[in-house]
Amino acid sequence: MGLLKKFLNQTRKPEGFLGKIILKGMNFGHAKGADWAMSYLDGLTPSGVVDLGCGGGRNAAVLLRKYPSARVTAVDYSPLSVARTSELNKDAISAGRCVVLEGNVTSLPFEAAQFDIATAFETIYFWPGLKECFTEVARILRPGGRFLIANETGGTDPVGRKFEKIIDGMKVYTQEEIMEALKGAGFSKVRCEHHPSLPWITVLAEK
């Protein structure tokens, strides 16, 4: 495996020295896309938010600021991501407003109907079976809960397809595939928003 491919494959499950570099890059490189996506969650007053695939922890920190009355839980299956997110949000953890856990979206370590909002930033590319994983997300959301998915590729642009060929286990989904899987998992009022000038998409679903 070439060095570039080895580096980019760290996006799937960061570990080791290269993983630490990737996590720093995620926090910076995906910030604008994540903030654009989160603008579609304005006006809500959740008490419980869960960020699935929390990566470097930057988005969990933004969610804590966005919803000052909420408790934010961050989950990732990478121990390195859990450590980085915990370090970045240590003050909120000490204050009892944030919890960071190692876990897998195929079987989340939560009781049913526990959260008002679930988010997934640049991560569903690596989820094994969208409908099954989305069903698990629906399980942990309260009735009326929102699920926000943010991807910097809508599955049709050449750049997105290029990375799919480079990164092992990556699957770039079209908006139609995402929306169909959400509806199959029991979500309603599913809609997709497109960035006006970039291939970014945000898919929002309500339980």
Specify the CATH number for the domain of residue 192: 3.40.50.150
Query: What is the overall mean pLDDT for the chain?
Result: 89
Q: What is the mean pLDDT of residues 145-162?
A: 84
How remote is the C-alpha of 196 from its chain's centroid? 21
- The DSSP result for 43-71, as a single string, is T---SEEEEES-TTSHHHHHHHHH-TTSE
Q: CA-CA distance, 178 to 161, in Å (whole number)?
A: 16
List phi, psi (to 5°) of 10: -70, -15
CA distance 151 to 43: 22
pLDDT tens, position by position, 122-146: 999 999 999 999 999 999 999 999 9
CA 25 to chain centre: 16
Name the pLDDT band for 157 (thresholds 50, 70, 90): confident
Task: Convert the pLDDT of each residue in 92-133 to its tens digit.
Answer: 999 999 999 999 999 999 999 999 999 999 999 999 999 999
User: What is the tens place of the pLDDT at every residue in 20-69?
Assistant: 666 666 777 778 999 999 999 999 999 999 999 999 999 999 999 999 99
Alpha-carbon distance 22 to 118, whole Å?
A: 23
Distance (Å, whole) CA 194 – CA 150? 10
Task: Please provide residue 31's backbone torsions phi and psi, each rounded to the nearest 5 degrees.
Answer: -60, -50
The tally of domains found in the chain comes to 1
So what's the pLDDT on residue 182? 98
The tens digit of pLDDT for each residue in 172-191 reads 999 999 999 999 999 989 99
Enclosing domain of residue 153? 3-206
Rounded CA separation 77/53 (Å): 7
Q: Output 199 or 26, whichever has higher pLDDT.
A: 199
| pLDDT the model gives residue 34 | 95
Residue 23: phi and psi, rounded to 5, are -65, -40
Q: Are 122 and 31 in contact (CB under 8 A)?
A: no
Q: What is the pTM assigned to this prediction?
A: 0.90
Residue with tokens 């695939």: 53
Whole-number Å distance between alpha carbons of 109 and 173:
26
